[in-house]
């Protein structure tokens, strides 16, 4: 059946509206485009930092240690970051955390540009960035619903994942070229400058258009702080969809999402290529993640089955890398790994956002970000140790097999609950 010239089919039009629903909100548009610029810089720094550590030390274990140091504060103090996210105005808090991140990036630029940088410098700056992220991550996650409201939160989370992965595509690819042309230090400088975009976007937002609720009243009493932390943890434990999301993402991210540690070593030792090849591999992961994020944005729904399928795909494709020595096949696997990782994490995030009450959002999301990002120190040391002893290919295989096993056990345990949910929806 034909349509009038210039008129899109109704189904396509509805899909386009769903895909961009959150962008109707001016505040979210400012955040979205500011994050796009800033995250390109973040991914440039991530690639450049990993390559710099390998240049300085020639040791994948040191790379794992520095990655672990960056995420250690989240593992130790992540739940307290949720209290801060609930207690303080989120926009002002984000201006502060983004400014601090900018200064740390510029410090790394200066050390690299003056040829004074040593591995311990990178470790200290990574630790400080980890402390900043302890507050930034749960605040940024909880701020999404304030910008768009509950009706558009699934779309907003998916679009955030999309912009994150556009940056993951562009950032490593640009960084690989820049390292070859003008050196590693330039990546750190560009990352520092990129924070100006997101800070400017936050400052330009209209407070009257934020969907802010009453703030949690922070207390200095140690017993009250522990009680309030316990309230968030009890909610996670007693809500099946939240417990499933936190458990699966926490374990799979520990065992199978250690790309920053393994991909540089895999690039050099297995594929025998350089920083440009590293950039293309990370960009392939980003393309897969972007496709997954856009798919979720168009569909506009979240499902625990999608989350589990994404985790299984991630694990099985990493297991396949054990036998891969050709760049085209490795790129295809990295695409699938990226698709699976976002299918898992974006669905987990939206499931939590929709389930949690406003008064607990920061604390519950801090549990999620703590197990997601905070598991990285353990995962980085796990991956770095395996890569140093067995090589990157076998380290990928071990992490992939363990991730697939986690998903299989989670599916078996959650299947009765998911069946009851399906019956309830059909009734």
Distances (CA, A) of 374 to 194, 301, 315: 25, 27, 20
* Residue 83: strand, helix, or coil: helix
CA separation for the pair 337, 370 (Å, rounded): 22
Query: Which tokens sit at 410?
Result: 């989670």
Each residue's pLDDT tens digit in the chain (427 positions)?
Answer: 344 444 444 444 544 455 567 788 899 999 999 999 999 999 899 889 988 998 898 887 887 788 778 878 877 777 777 777 777 888 999 999 999 999 999 999 999 999 999 999 999 999 999 999 988 988 888 888 888 877 777 788 778 877 877 787 788 778 888 888 888 999 999 999 999 999 999 999 988 888 766 555 555 555 666 676 677 788 888 888 888 988 998 899 888 888 878 888 888 888 888 777 887 888 888 788 888 878 877 776 667 888 999 999 999 999 998 888 888 999 999 999 999 988 898 888 888 877 887 777 777 877 787 777 667 677 877 888 888 888 888 988 999 999 999 999 999 988 888 777 766 666 6
Closest C-alpha among 363, 373, 356 to residue 85 = 363
Angstrom distance (rounded) from CA 53 to CA 126: 12
Question: Where in the sequence is the domain holding 100, given as residue range(s)?
Answer: 23-207+222-420
Residue 8 lies in a domain: no
- At 238-267, the pLDDT tens digits run 888 888 988 998 899 888 888 878 888 888
What is the spatial distance between Cα 305 and Cα 228, in angstroms, rounded to a whole number? 31
9 is a domain residue: no
Look at residues 48, 85, 303 and name the one whose alpha carbon lies nearest to residue 180: 48
pLDDT (0 to 100) of residue 151: 73
> For the chain, how many structural domains are there in total?
1
Q: What is the pLDDT of residue 215?
A: 52
pLDDT tens readout for residues 30-61: 999 999 999 999 989 988 998 899 889 888 78
Largest CA distance in the chain: 68
Residue 166 lies in a domain: yes
Residue 1 lies in a domain: no
Non-local (6+) Cβ contacts of 427 within 8 A are none
Whether residue 60 contacts residue 387, with contact meaning beta carbons closer than 8 Å, is answered with yes
Quickly tell me which residue has 């096949």 as its tokens. Answer: 329
- CATH value at residue 63: 1.20.1250.20
CA 322 to chain centre: 25
- pLDDT for position 144: 85
The pair of three-digit structure tokens given for residue 381, joined into one six-digit string: 């040391």
Per the rule left: phi > 0, alpha: psi between -120 and 50, beta: everything else, 115 is left
CB 46 within 8 A of CB 380: no
Residue 5 falls within a domain, yes or no? no
Q: What is the pLDDT of residue 7?
A: 44
> What does the pLDDT read at residue 231?
75
In a domain, 16, yes or no: no
pTM metric for this prediction: 0.69
Say if 426 falls within a structural domain.
Answer: no
- Residue 392: predicted pLDDT: 85
In a domain, 229, yes or no: yes
Label residue 210 left, alpha or beta by phi (over 0 means left) and psi (-120 to 50 means alpha). beta
Q: What is d(CA 364, CA 119) in angstroms, rounded to the nearest whole number?
A: 35
């Amino acid at each position: 059946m034909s349509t009038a010239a210039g008129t899109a089919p109704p189904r396509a039009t509805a899909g386009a509206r769903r895909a961009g629903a959150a962008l109707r909100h001016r505040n979210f548009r400012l955040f979205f485009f500011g994050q796009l610029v800033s995250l390109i810089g973040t991914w440039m720094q991530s690639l450049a930092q990993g390559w710099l550590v390998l240049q300085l030390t020639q040791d994948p274990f040191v790379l794992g240690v520095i990655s672990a140091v960056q995420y250690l504060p989240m593992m130790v103090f992540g739940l307290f970051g949720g209290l801060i996210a609930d207690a303080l105005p989120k926009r002002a808090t984000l201006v502060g955390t983004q400014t601090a991140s900018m200064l740390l990036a510029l410090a790394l630029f200066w050390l690299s540009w003056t040829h004074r940088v040593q591995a311990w410098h990178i470790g200290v700056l990574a630790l400080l960035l980890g402390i900043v992220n302890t507050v930034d991550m749960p605040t940024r996650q909880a701020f999404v619903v304030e910008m768009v409201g509950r009706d558009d939160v699934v779309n907003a989370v998916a679009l955030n994942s999309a912009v994150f992965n556009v940056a993951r595509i562009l950032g490593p690819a640009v960084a690989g070229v820049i390292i070859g042309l003008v050196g590693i230090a330039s990546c750190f400088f560009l990352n520092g400058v990129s924070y100006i975009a997101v800070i400017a976007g936050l400052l330009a937002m209209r407070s009257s258009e934020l969907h802010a609720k009453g703030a949690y009243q922070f207390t200095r009493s140690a017993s009250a702080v522990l009680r309030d932390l316990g309230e968030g943890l009890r909610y996670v434990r007693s809500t099946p969809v939240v417990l499933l999301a936190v458990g699966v993402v926490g374990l799979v991210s520990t065992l199978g999402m250690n790309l920053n540690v393994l991909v540089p070593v895999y690039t050099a030792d297995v594929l025998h290529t350089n920083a440009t090849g590293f950039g293309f591999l990370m960009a392939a992961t980003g393309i897969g993640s972007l496709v997954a994020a856009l798919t979720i944005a168009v569909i506009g729904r979240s499902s625990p089955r999608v989350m589990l399928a994404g985790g299984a795909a991630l694990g099985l494709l990493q297991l396949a890398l054990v036998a891969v020595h050709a760049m085209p096949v490795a790129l295809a696997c990295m695409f699938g790994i990226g698709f699976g990782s976002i299918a898992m994490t974006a669905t987990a995030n939206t499931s939590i956002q929709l389930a949690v009450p406003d008064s607990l959002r920061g604390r519950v999301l801090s549990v999620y970000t703590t197990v997601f990002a905070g598991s990285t120190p353990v995962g980085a040391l796990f991956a770095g140790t395996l890569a140093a002893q067995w090589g990157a290919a076998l380290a990928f295989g071990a992490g992939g097999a363990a991730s697939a096993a986690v998903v299989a056990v989670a599916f078996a345990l959650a299947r009765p609950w998911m069946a009851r949910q399906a019956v309830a929806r059909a009734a």
